Protein backbone atom coordinates (compact mmCIF):
# COMPACT_ATOMS: atom_id res chain seq x y z
CA UNK A 1 0.00 0.00 0.00
CA UNK A 2 1.26 3.45 -0.83
CA UNK A 3 1.94 5.77 2.12
CA UNK A 4 0.69 9.36 2.29
CA UNK A 5 2.68 11.55 4.67
CA UNK A 6 1.27 14.76 6.16
CA UNK A 7 4.09 16.93 7.44
CA UNK A 8 4.12 20.34 9.09
CA UNK A 9 5.95 22.52 11.56
CA UNK A 10 2.55 22.99 13.21
CA UNK A 11 -0.27 20.51 13.90
CA UNK A 12 -0.39 19.30 10.25
CA UNK A 13 -4.18 19.67 10.35
CA UNK A 14 -4.27 21.78 7.18
CA UNK A 15 -2.10 19.26 5.30
CA UNK A 16 -4.28 16.39 6.55
CA UNK A 17 -7.62 17.93 5.66
CA UNK A 18 -6.53 19.10 2.24
CA UNK A 19 -4.62 15.89 1.47
CA UNK A 20 -7.59 13.82 2.59
CA UNK A 21 -9.94 15.80 0.34
CA UNK A 22 -7.59 15.11 -2.59
CA UNK A 23 -7.08 11.41 -1.93
CA UNK A 24 -10.80 10.69 -1.57
CA UNK A 25 -11.06 11.56 -5.26
CA UNK A 26 -9.18 8.33 -6.00
CA UNK A 27 -10.27 4.75 -5.45
CA UNK A 28 -7.01 3.70 -3.83
CA UNK A 29 -6.24 2.81 -0.22
CA UNK A 30 -3.39 4.59 1.48
CA UNK A 31 -1.40 4.13 4.62
CA UNK A 32 -1.63 7.53 6.34
CA UNK A 33 1.20 8.93 8.48
CA UNK A 34 1.10 12.38 10.10
CA UNK A 35 4.29 13.96 11.39
CA UNK A 36 3.52 17.27 13.14
CA UNK A 37 5.84 19.83 14.76
CA UNK A 38 8.83 19.31 12.46
CA UNK A 39 10.54 22.52 13.55
CA UNK A 40 14.27 22.07 12.94
CA UNK A 41 16.51 21.00 10.06
CA UNK A 42 17.64 18.03 12.16
CA UNK A 43 14.04 16.88 12.70
CA UNK A 44 13.33 17.31 8.99
CA UNK A 45 16.34 15.15 8.13
CA UNK A 46 15.03 12.47 10.49
CA UNK A 47 11.68 12.64 8.69
CA UNK A 48 13.35 12.22 5.30
CA UNK A 49 15.24 9.22 6.64
CA UNK A 50 11.96 7.69 7.77
CA UNK A 51 10.38 8.34 4.36
CA UNK A 52 13.39 6.74 2.61
CA UNK A 53 13.26 3.68 4.86
CA UNK A 54 9.53 3.16 4.33
CA UNK A 55 10.06 3.44 0.59
CA UNK A 56 12.58 0.61 0.44
CA UNK A 57 9.88 -1.88 1.43
CA UNK A 58 7.42 -0.82 -1.20
CA UNK A 59 6.67 -0.66 -4.89
CA UNK A 60 5.20 2.79 -4.84
CA UNK A 61 6.85 6.06 -3.99
CA UNK A 62 5.16 7.69 -1.01
CA UNK A 63 3.19 10.92 -1.35
CA UNK A 64 4.43 13.74 0.85
CA UNK A 65 1.91 16.49 1.57
CA UNK A 66 3.34 19.39 3.53
CA UNK A 67 2.73 22.92 4.76
CA UNK A 68 5.90 24.26 6.36
CA UNK A 69 6.60 27.90 7.15
CA UNK A 70 10.32 27.77 8.00
CA UNK A 71 12.16 27.94 4.63
CA UNK A 72 15.12 25.81 5.74
CA UNK A 73 12.94 23.05 7.12
CA UNK A 74 10.77 23.24 4.01
CA UNK A 75 13.80 22.88 1.77
CA UNK A 76 14.86 19.66 3.48
CA UNK A 77 11.41 18.07 3.16
CA UNK A 78 11.19 19.16 -0.49
CA UNK A 79 14.17 16.89 -1.10
CA UNK A 80 12.59 13.72 0.35
CA UNK A 81 12.46 10.64 -1.87
CA UNK A 82 8.66 10.93 -1.92
CA UNK A 83 6.52 12.74 -4.45
CA UNK A 84 6.32 16.10 -2.73
CA UNK A 85 3.32 18.42 -2.70
CA UNK A 86 3.88 21.78 -1.11
CA UNK A 87 0.24 22.73 -0.66
CA UNK A 88 0.36 26.41 0.15
CA UNK A 89 3.20 27.58 -2.09
CA UNK A 90 1.32 27.15 -5.36
CA UNK A 91 -1.16 29.81 -4.31
CA UNK A 92 1.15 32.24 -2.54
CA UNK A 93 2.76 33.91 -5.56
CA UNK A 94 -0.56 34.61 -7.36
CA UNK A 95 -2.06 35.91 -4.10
CA UNK A 96 0.91 38.20 -3.51
CA UNK A 97 0.31 39.66 -6.94
CA UNK A 98 -3.41 40.17 -6.36
CA UNK A 99 -3.02 41.65 -2.87
CA UNK A 100 0.02 43.71 -3.79
CA UNK A 101 1.95 42.72 -0.66
CA UNK A 102 4.41 39.96 0.17
CA UNK A 103 3.38 36.98 2.31
CA UNK A 104 4.67 37.10 5.88
CA UNK A 105 4.72 33.53 7.06
CA UNK A 106 4.59 33.07 10.80
CA UNK A 107 5.03 29.80 12.57
CA UNK A 108 1.96 28.13 14.11
CA UNK A 109 -0.34 30.64 12.56
CA UNK A 110 -3.39 28.39 12.38
CA UNK A 111 -4.83 25.97 14.94
CA UNK A 112 -2.75 27.60 17.65
CA UNK A 113 -3.62 29.18 20.97
CA UNK A 114 -2.50 32.52 19.51
CA UNK A 115 -5.50 32.76 17.22
CA UNK A 116 -7.70 35.60 18.38
CA UNK A 117 -10.80 33.46 18.55
CA UNK A 118 -9.26 30.64 20.59
CA UNK A 119 -10.66 31.72 23.97
CA UNK A 120 -14.06 32.32 22.41
CA UNK A 121 -14.12 28.73 21.13
CA UNK A 122 -13.13 27.28 24.51
CA UNK A 123 -15.75 29.42 26.29
CA UNK A 124 -18.32 28.16 23.80
CA UNK A 125 -17.34 24.51 24.50
CA UNK A 126 -17.73 25.09 28.24
CA UNK A 127 -21.09 26.76 27.58
CA UNK A 128 -22.29 23.82 25.44
CA UNK A 129 -21.31 21.35 28.17
CA UNK A 130 -22.96 23.37 30.94
CA UNK A 131 -26.13 23.80 28.86
CA UNK A 132 -26.38 20.30 27.42
CA UNK A 133 -29.61 18.34 27.49
CA UNK A 134 -31.65 20.93 29.34
CA UNK A 135 -29.33 20.70 32.33
CA UNK A 136 -29.31 24.44 32.90
CA UNK A 137 -32.23 26.68 32.03
CA UNK A 138 -31.07 29.99 33.43
CA UNK A 139 -28.31 30.97 30.99
CA UNK A 140 -30.28 30.90 27.74
CA UNK A 141 -29.91 34.68 27.45
CA UNK A 142 -26.24 33.97 26.66
CA UNK A 143 -27.02 31.41 23.95
CA UNK A 144 -26.44 32.18 20.28
CA UNK A 145 -28.75 29.30 19.42
CA UNK A 146 -30.84 26.72 21.31
CA UNK A 147 -31.21 23.37 19.59
CA UNK A 148 -34.41 21.51 20.41
CA UNK A 149 -35.60 18.01 19.55
CA UNK A 150 -36.39 14.56 20.93
CA UNK A 151 -33.76 12.47 22.70
CA UNK A 152 -31.05 11.20 20.29
CA UNK A 153 -31.86 13.45 17.35
CA UNK A 154 -28.30 14.83 17.20
CA UNK A 155 -28.51 17.88 19.46
CA UNK A 156 -25.49 17.28 21.70
CA UNK A 157 -22.76 16.51 19.14
CA UNK A 158 -24.05 19.35 16.93
CA UNK A 159 -23.89 21.79 19.88
CA UNK A 160 -20.30 20.73 20.56
CA UNK A 161 -19.27 21.04 16.94
CA UNK A 162 -20.82 24.53 16.65
CA UNK A 163 -18.83 25.54 19.73
CA UNK A 164 -15.52 23.94 18.83
CA UNK A 165 -15.45 24.91 15.16
CA UNK A 166 -17.29 28.21 15.08
CA UNK A 167 -17.19 29.54 18.66
CA UNK A 168 -20.98 29.60 18.72
CA UNK A 169 -22.68 29.21 22.10
CA UNK A 170 -25.24 26.48 21.52
CA UNK A 171 -27.51 25.25 24.30
CA UNK A 172 -29.73 22.25 23.72
CA UNK A 173 -33.08 21.29 25.18
CA UNK A 174 -34.66 17.84 24.84
CA UNK A 175 -38.38 17.33 24.44
CA UNK A 176 -39.08 14.38 26.73
CA UNK A 177 -42.11 12.21 27.20
CA UNK A 178 -43.24 14.51 30.02
CA UNK A 179 -43.52 17.35 27.54
CA UNK A 180 -45.70 15.38 25.16
CA UNK A 181 -49.43 15.67 25.34
CA UNK A 182 -51.56 15.17 22.28
CA UNK A 183 -50.26 18.56 21.32
CA UNK A 184 -46.88 19.62 22.70
CA UNK A 185 -46.84 23.15 23.98
CA UNK A 186 -43.65 25.15 23.88
CA UNK A 187 -42.22 25.12 27.45
CA UNK A 188 -42.30 28.57 29.06
CA UNK A 189 -38.52 28.65 29.44
CA UNK A 190 -38.16 28.39 25.65
CA UNK A 191 -40.99 30.77 24.75
CA UNK A 192 -39.06 33.89 25.71
CA UNK A 193 -36.11 32.80 23.54
CA UNK A 194 -38.20 31.67 20.60
CA UNK A 195 -36.06 33.54 18.07
CA UNK A 196 -33.06 31.44 19.14
CA UNK A 197 -34.72 28.05 18.67
CA UNK A 198 -33.70 25.61 15.95
CA UNK A 199 -35.36 22.18 15.74
CA UNK A 200 -33.83 18.87 14.79
CA UNK A 201 -35.83 15.91 13.63
CA UNK A 202 -34.90 12.47 12.29
CA UNK A 203 -36.55 9.52 10.55
CA UNK A 204 -38.48 7.33 13.01
CA UNK A 205 -36.74 4.12 11.83
CA UNK A 206 -33.28 5.63 12.34
CA UNK A 207 -34.25 6.99 15.77
CA UNK A 208 -35.61 3.56 16.75
CA UNK A 209 -32.29 2.02 15.71
CA UNK A 210 -30.16 4.56 17.65
CA UNK A 211 -32.30 4.28 20.79
CA UNK A 212 -32.29 0.48 20.59
CA UNK A 213 -28.49 0.50 20.80
CA UNK A 214 -28.85 2.31 24.13
CA UNK A 215 -31.90 0.56 25.61
CA UNK A 216 -32.96 -2.42 23.57
CA UNK A 217 -36.64 -3.43 23.67
CA UNK A 218 -37.60 -0.45 25.84
CA UNK A 219 -40.73 1.64 25.53
CA UNK A 220 -38.35 4.55 24.89
CA UNK A 221 -36.78 2.80 21.87
CA UNK A 222 -39.95 1.35 20.37
CA UNK A 223 -40.79 2.42 16.83
CA UNK A 224 -44.28 3.37 17.98
CA UNK A 225 -42.92 5.74 20.64
CA UNK A 226 -40.33 7.24 18.23
CA UNK A 227 -43.06 7.89 15.65
CA UNK A 228 -45.33 9.53 18.23
CA UNK A 229 -42.61 11.83 19.60
CA UNK A 230 -41.45 12.88 16.14
CA UNK A 231 -44.99 13.60 14.97
CA UNK A 232 -45.63 15.77 18.01
CA UNK A 233 -42.42 17.81 17.76
CA UNK A 234 -42.68 18.29 13.99
CA UNK A 235 -46.21 19.61 14.49
CA UNK A 236 -44.86 21.97 17.12
CA UNK A 237 -42.10 23.23 14.78
CA UNK A 238 -44.67 23.97 12.11
CA UNK A 239 -47.21 25.54 14.49
CA UNK A 240 -44.63 27.77 16.16
CA UNK A 241 -42.71 28.41 12.92
CA UNK A 242 -39.46 27.09 14.40
CA UNK A 243 -36.94 26.43 11.60
CA UNK A 244 -35.97 22.76 11.57
CA UNK A 245 -33.84 20.18 9.81
CA UNK A 246 -34.06 16.43 9.36
CA UNK A 247 -30.67 15.14 10.49
CA UNK A 248 -31.07 11.54 9.26
CA UNK A 249 -28.72 11.73 6.30
CA UNK A 250 -26.35 14.41 7.53
CA UNK A 251 -23.13 14.50 9.54
CA UNK A 252 -22.75 16.98 12.37
CA UNK A 253 -20.49 19.01 10.06
CA UNK A 254 -23.26 19.13 7.45
CA UNK A 255 -25.99 19.87 10.01
CA UNK A 256 -23.89 22.72 11.44
CA UNK A 257 -23.13 24.20 8.01
CA UNK A 258 -26.82 24.01 7.09
CA UNK A 259 -27.89 25.67 10.36
CA UNK A 260 -25.45 28.53 9.74
CA UNK A 261 -26.59 28.94 6.15
CA UNK A 262 -30.27 28.86 7.10
CA UNK A 263 -30.24 31.06 10.20
CA UNK A 264 -27.55 33.51 9.15
CA UNK A 265 -26.03 32.99 12.61
CA UNK A 266 -22.72 34.78 12.82
CA UNK A 267 -19.68 32.62 13.41
CA UNK A 268 -17.06 33.85 15.80
CA UNK A 269 -14.23 31.89 14.22
CA UNK A 270 -13.02 31.64 10.64
Region 53-72 residues binding its own copies, contact defined as CB under 8 A:
61, 63, 67
Q: Does 187 bind its own copies (CB under 8 A)?
A: no
Find the binder of its own copies among 3, 7, 35, 167 (CB under 8 A). Answer: 35
Rounded to a whole number of angstroms, the minimum distance from the CB of residue 168 to its own copies is: 13
Strand ordering across the sheet containing 170-175: 170-175, 145-150, 197-201, 244-246
Q: Does 242 bind its own copies (CB under 8 A)?
A: no
Q: Which residues pair with 31 in a beta bridge?
A: 3
The conformational region for residue 171 under phi > 0 = left, psi -120 to 50 = alpha, else beta, is beta
Q: Does 12 bind its own copies (CB under 8 A)?
A: yes
Asked whether residue 156 is marked as a ligand-binding residue, the answer is yes
Asked whether residue 154 is marked as a ligand-binding residue, the answer is yes
Site for its own copies in 93-152 (CB under 8 A): 94-96, 98-99, 101, 103-106, 108-113, 115, 118, 122, 125-126, 129, 132
Asked whether residue 151 is marked as a ligand-binding residue, the answer is yes
| Under 8 Å between Cβ of 139 and 150 | no
| Under 8 Å between Cβ of 268 and 121 | yes
- E-assigned strands of the chain? 2-8, 30-35, 63-67, 83-86, 145-150, 170-175, 197-201, 244-246
Q: Does 88 bind its own copies (CB under 8 A)?
A: yes
**Options 85-93, 168-176, 180-188, 225-233: segment touching its own copies (CB under 8 A):** 85-93
Q: Which residues are annotated as a binding site?
A: 149-156
Q: Which residues are annotated as a binding site for ADP?
A: 149-156
Amino acid sequence: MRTAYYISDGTAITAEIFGHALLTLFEVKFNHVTIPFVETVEQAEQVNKKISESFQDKDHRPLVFYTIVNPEVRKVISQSVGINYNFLDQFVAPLEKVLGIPAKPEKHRTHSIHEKTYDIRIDAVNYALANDDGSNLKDYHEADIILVGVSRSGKTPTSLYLALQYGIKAANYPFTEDDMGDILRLPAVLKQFKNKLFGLTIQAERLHQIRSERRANSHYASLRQCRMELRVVENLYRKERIPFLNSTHFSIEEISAKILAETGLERKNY
